[in-house]
Amino acid sequence: MLEKKIGCTGWGYKEWTGTFYPKTIKQKDWLKHYSSIFDVTEVNSSFYQVIPKSMAAKWNEDTPDHFEFSLKFPGKITHENKLDYDSSKDTLTAFFSGLEPLKKKIRILVMQLPPSLTFLQAKERLESLGKHLPHYCRYAIEGRHESWFSKESLEFLSKNDLCLVWNEVPMVDNPAPITTDFVYARLIGDRNLPEDVYDHKVRDKTDTLQKWADRLSNLENNEKVKFFWAFSNNHLEGFAPESANTLRMLLGLDKLEFHDKKQSSMFDFE
């Protein structure tokens, strides 16, 4: 049976207070609340800073045993050094050292690459970097240059058991290829929404969500694929938990309950 997990790209949004987080919950307990509703999250903060062991240990303590994480590689490795191992040794060591207390709950690590980085530029660097990665988790590559969808790229990724991320981002026409036994989808959207609207849905992207739901549903017919993870971001519709819920329902999964009954989306009145 195909395993399906749907969550949000992060949980640390103060704007969710009152619509996702009850106003009585302190910020230090947000992850506890999030993990009582969703069973997976993607950590974006690891792109900007190495996660200290103390923080990873708290995340482990705050989440139930079944809860799982994905994390983005540090931007210093993917963007500044463009996957060059020699330039990234120290950062790579610090990154995995910090994650040690959490590693039993880490299933996937994601390399989000800059749009300018082509497959041919990255290929040898990725091969070299891959020799130094631990095997306790899986790896996904988010290539945003069109060359990542070439036949040569897909064959390379398949050969090396690397997942090519499905993504919904501006300027990327992602054909949703399958390169390994799992699929990782990031439904990000654009950055036209101000952060102060992240407490509710402000635009309807049901058509976009339906497109990805159809693609994910088709995985039921693919014997190779064992599981998929899909994540929504606040940029998509304004409120990631609601977008994740919509995707769940489009896939025939149960609706999650988290709304403060006194709060309403502007779309509830249409």
Nearest to 13 by CA among 27, 25, 33, 32: 27
**The domain that contains 102 carries what CATH number?**
3.20.20.410
Of 72-86, 151-165, 228-242, 253-267, the poorest mean pLDDT is in: 253-267
Residue with the two structure tokens 């990255």: 122
- Whole-model pTM? 0.94
What is the amino acid identity at position 156? Answer: F
Range of the domain at 263: 3-269
Half-sphere exposure of 93 (CA within 13 A, CB side): 4
Q: Domain tally for the chain? A: 1
User: Could you tell me the pLDDT band of residue 82, with boundaries at 50, 70 and 90?
Assistant: very high
* Mean pLDDT for all residues in the chain: 94
Non-local (6+) Cβ contacts of 90 within 8 A are: none
